[in-house]
Amino acid sequence: MTRPDRRETSQIRALHCALGQLNRADGSAQFSAGNTSVICGIYGPVDVKLYDEKLDRAHIEVKFRPDIGVPMTKDKWNESAIRSTFEREIIGQMHPRTLVQINIQVRQNDGSVDAAAINATTLALVDAGIPLRSMVAAATCAVCANGNIVIDPTQEEISKAQSTHTFGFSNQQTDSPAYVDSRGDFTMDQYNSCYDMCATATERIFAFMRSAIESKVSKESLNEA
């Protein structure tokens, strides 16, 4: 079995990221896996609207905008899923009565876009200096019609897939996922193998994020010296 782009079943696409590209945002990151590309900008901690104000912690708001068309129901769903994932990770108690706004803009959607959005958000939060308990990385698996499981599927593979599964893991707690999204029909065995494949892939993504942040920090400290 070969995949349309001749990857191995457990091979993710080439990763690319750029931190702090936007001038207005307090922190930003662009994360790409192959042709899928997402840009995320963070404003925070900033002034919060009165009715969103929380006395003991920061309010977290997520805006998700697709590459084509206006935000629809499925984008609203992504917003709430990403918000509940990162509400656990952001130490909101350090900035009570403020707002942390996460703006996600899809540049190009070639499959596995929700995983890319989570990865971009983590990098942007680190770039903005928002206090975090841990970092979150996510990966997507697809179960093909013939039962094969492939990681980081393209749009073409997703459209032919029986089910798709996205798992996000925190780097502090790797034994249970921070984000789960499964669509389609699947057996428990398929689910478990997808879980294992995504867990392995997120380890690679964590290593990639780490080197990206390290190189940015070392560049900044060189400039200051």
Partner 1 sequence: MVAEIEPSNIEKSFLLESLQKGIRVDGRGIYDYRTLKIICGPEVGLVEVQLGQTRVLARVSCEVTRPFPDRPTEGIVQFNAELSSLCAPGFDSTGKPSAQEVAITRMLERVIRQSRAVDTEALCILAGEKVWTVRIDVHFLDHGGNLVDAASIAAIAALRHFRRPDVTVDGEEAIIHDVRERNPVPLSIHHTPICVSFGFFGDGGMVVLDPNLLEEQTQASSFTITLNSHQEICAMNKAGGIPLDSKQIHRCIQIALAKVDEINEKIKEAL
Provide the binding-site residues for partner 1, judged by CB under 8 A: 21-25, 35, 39, 41, 43, 46-49, 63, 65, 67-71, 99, 101, 103, 105, 107-108
Q: How far apart are CA 149 and CA 153, in angstroms?
A: 10
Instruction: Work out how close the CB of 168 gets to partner 1 at its nearest, in angstroms, rounded to a whole number.
Output: 22
Instruction: Work out how close the CB of 71 gets to partner 1 at its nearest, in angstroms, rounded to a whole number.
Output: 8
List 56's β-bridge partners, or say none: none
Instruction: Work out how close the CB of 43 gets to partner 1 at its nearest, in angstroms, rounded to a whole number.
Output: 5
Instruction: Work out how close the CB of 23 gets to partner 1 at its nearest, in angstroms, rounded to a whole number.
Output: 5
Instruction: Work out how close the CB of 169 gets to partner 1 at its nearest, in angstroms, rounded to a whole number.
Output: 27
Backbone angles phi, psi at 12, to 5 degrees: -85, 165
Residue 119, class by beta-carbon neighbours within 10 Å (0-12 exposed, 13-18 middle, 19+ buried)? buried
Residue 193, class by beta-carbon neighbours within 10 Å (0-12 exposed, 13-18 middle, 19+ buried)? middle
For partner 1, the closer of residues 99 and 197 by Cβ is 99
For partner 1, the closer of residues 24 and 175 by Cβ is 24
Instruction: Work out how close the CB of 83 gets to partner 1 at its nearest, in angstroms, rounded to a whole number.
Output: 14
For partner 1, the closer of residues 85 and 101 by Cβ is 101
For partner 1, the closer of residues 25 and 194 by Cβ is 25
For partner 1, the closer of residues 153 and 177 by Cβ is 153
For partner 1, the closer of residues 96 and 174 by Cβ is 96
Peptide bond into 45 cis (omega under 30): yes
Residue 36, class by beta-carbon neighbours within 10 Å (0-12 exposed, 13-18 middle, 19+ buried)? buried
Instruction: Give every CB contact of residue 64 below 8 A, 6+ residues apart in sequence.
Output: 71, 75, 76, 78, 79, 82, 104, 106, 117
